[in-house]
Structure 1
């Protein structure tokens, strides 16, 4: 342990870590906070990711197996921990972590089978859930493009439930560049578009593909959707007007994963 007595909210190290709740500070320092046992467990599984772990005495006892791999744990009191967590009921453990994002060419690769490109996705819960779903289907990576939410937003990290630490993520200012990179490698870009001309269940999803998802409110800009190889619509059989973005992403990604696994491609185990 670093301290026998738990640190209080006024402690300098706690105050310094608390500043990472601001996107500008996260970007400047290339650090972020992983809040809760799932996120901390994911971070500890990545070499060199964790800078410091803060835990309350109760959390240290509750998660002692998990935190045994953390090396040194800094004890903080409940009030100090609450200042580091944006959760309504903090779990008592928060890690300061180094940024994980990779350059675009390390995520969109010639060998990629299934990718996700999010263009201007603003909701942190949606972004985190899409990352979690991409991880669940065995996708090769996720690109957050354009003016998408900060992947290191605490709500995004929490919604990914550890998956942020499991698969490669790239940040790309220009969605068109991510689409162009995929197409350059012969990866079919499929734009999820309610007005798409191809029905999801009629689409050939067996080859390497990158799904392109747009903003929750206004979808994909026409020029970006048109830059894809196909615009694919999820059929709505009932009276619902549409699907939530993260639900639509799950339907599309699982459809692709199922067809890819059923295909006889020797590159896919």
Structure 2
């Protein structure tokens, strides 16, 4: 049985300052919990309601709980509602320990596809981009200072579990990261509504870095003097624009499956 103090602590983790202070974050729902169990992330706590504990999804997870020697704490439905961020909790919730990650200390020489996000603000956009990057085989997601935090609950739910499949490096210097990638012979492209080249004519290389800017203002970081080519997505209909996640998905697809790329 979980103590009142523990449940209050879990509830606090929905706030960014406590996630940073405790180096933990909350995941909700069977999909996220199962992907976390399959990963090498450390899981601190798991809470379930009685109804979920008798479900087939829980039975699927039991071998992972046993392998990790991870106790599962049963709580009441009102208690689950108290610690959940969603209106309709899915019956299971976990607390995961953050991984310390440093882009500066990471070996990027083996990367071939990476996406950099500049001052991205919408949690749904970031989560969807992480999910798409995972789908298209990108090796990493980098977010600049001023971007929404990747362990935000809405971000995590939008990733559909992909958060646990590829590294997300946060609060980086976009200019500094691009310089590092250029040294590793990456071609760097920045999405822009009036970009110099149409996306299906862009010459993506064996190593490609894609930059997606802020939802309203585009790329805000200073990239002057860097060999970054701007790319625009061709339009055949009447839509005013694509949001950041849609544009990123279109371009990641093109990078992955273009003849000049490394996809097939």
User: TM-score normalised to the size of structure 1?
Assistant: 0.89
Counterpart of 1:66 in structure 2 is 60
Distance 1:106 1:248, change over 3 A: farther
Aligned length: 258
Q: Is the 8 A contact 2:186 2:208 kept in 1?
A: yes
Distance 1:47 1:264, change over 3 A: closer
Q: CA deviation at 1:21?
A: 0.7
Residues 167-176 or 89-98, more deviating: 167-176
User: Which 5+ residue runs of structure 2 have no aligned equivalent?
Assistant: none
CA distance in 2, matches of 1:136, 1:25: 31
Q: CA deviation at 1:228?
A: 4.9
Distance 1:155 1:137, change over 3 A: same
CA distance in 2, matches of 1:256, 1:66: 36
User: Which 5+ residue runs of structure 1 have no aligned equivalent?
Assistant: none
Counterpart of 2:131 in structure 1 is 132
Q: CA deviation at 1:264?
A: 8.6
Q: Within 5 A, what are the aligned runs for 1:137-176? A: 137-176=136-175
Superposed structure 1 runs of 4+ greater than 6 Å apart: none
CA distance in 2, matches of 1:186, 1:102: 23
Q: Is the 8 A contact 2:203 2:260 kept in 1?
A: no
Superposed CA deviations along residues 193-213 of structure 1, whole A, max 9, x for unmatched, are: 111101101101242111100
SS state of the match for residue 54, structure 2? helix
Distance 1:200 1:190, change over 3 A: same
Q: CA deviation at 1:105?
A: 3.8
Counterpart of 1:82 in structure 2 is 81
CA distance in 2, matches of 1:119, 1:205: 20
Counterpart of 1:17 in structure 2 is 10
Distance 1:150 1:106, change over 3 A: same
Counterpart of 2:21 in structure 1 is 28
User: TM-score normalised to the size of structure 2?
Assistant: 0.91
Q: CA deviation at 1:101?
A: 5.4
Q: Is the 8 A contact 1:55 1:74 kept in 2?
A: yes
1:45 aligns with 2:44: no
Counterpart of 2:188 in structure 1 is 189
